[in-house]
Amino acid sequence: MDQKKGKVIFIGAGPGDPELITIKAYHYLQMADIVLADRLVSPELLKKYIPSTTKVLLVGKQCRKGASTPQETINEMLIFHALQGKLVVRLKGGDVSVFSNILDELEILVKHQLTYEIVPGITAALGAAAYAGIPLTARGYATSVRWLTSYHNDLITLEEWKELSMTDDTLVFYMSGETVLQVVRQLTQHQIAENKLLDNLEQDTTPHQRVHIYNLYEFEKKFSGNITSPALLIIGKVVALHHQFKWIKEEKRHIGYFDDMQGMLLEAKPSNAINLLTA
């Protein structure tokens, strides 16, 4: 008789604050046999909300900086453990469906006829805006918000940049910390209105959150060139509301919150998963 197949639960861990997970996510973390966690998951969440008897594997991506676990290896680990009859939690930062590799992982599960659930989480745009006191669609400022990414230059055409410069929508750029200068140049070259500001939010919702407000036309003169990942860009008239509605006092120390992951006694061993799959 074939061994009973397990199940994979995709969970959005939120943008940083460990308390920004849902009750449903918490219950699944308590029941999981194994958790495959991305880099941008709060170390405190892993320590507090997952039983010490649960195996946790760190399979995070490093955004071209440092070691990363290949997507193919993550897929293999999901399949291997689910075929062993285990309840597998795939824990991703933010929300699992917003700028995430969930498509690759869903496809491999469907291919192997494995069951799964998707538990949504608070995506970075919502967490960052809330913790910076910026209502993304404040009445009289913006009626829509757009979530975009521009981590390399050809993702957005010149015609699209022109339209983005003219719209009154609030613009939120994910994964664009390394291309922030190109984003600003494109918007200013296409004459974005001067009353629209840029907010560069670093490590939002964590104890090391930093908010940097810029006039887009003065950005290049004032920008230091250093951005601590993860970072999010919010652009629009609503950014000016931060000064009135900010509610978090920023800490003076400026370190990488998610770098604390390196100090945890957790280790991803993707090579073991590959060996087991091919044994």
List, by residue number, the catalytic residues.
Answer: 38, 61
Separation between Cα atoms, residue 237 and residue 257, nearest integer Å = 29
Helical segments of 167-257, H only? 180-189, 219-222, 242-245
Separation between Cα atoms, residue 97 and residue 232, nearest integer Å = 17
The alpha carbon of residue 239 and the mean position of all alpha carbons in its chain are separated, in whole angstroms, by 21
Whether residue 108 contacts residue 214, with contact meaning beta carbons closer than 8 Å, is answered with no
Whether residue 174 contacts residue 232, with contact meaning beta carbons closer than 8 Å, is answered with yes
Residue 224: burial class (beta carbons within 10 Å; 0-12, 13-18, 19+): exposed
Whether residue 16 contacts residue 257, with contact meaning beta carbons closer than 8 Å, is answered with yes
What phi and psi values does residue 119 have, to the nearest 5 degrees? Answer: -105, 115
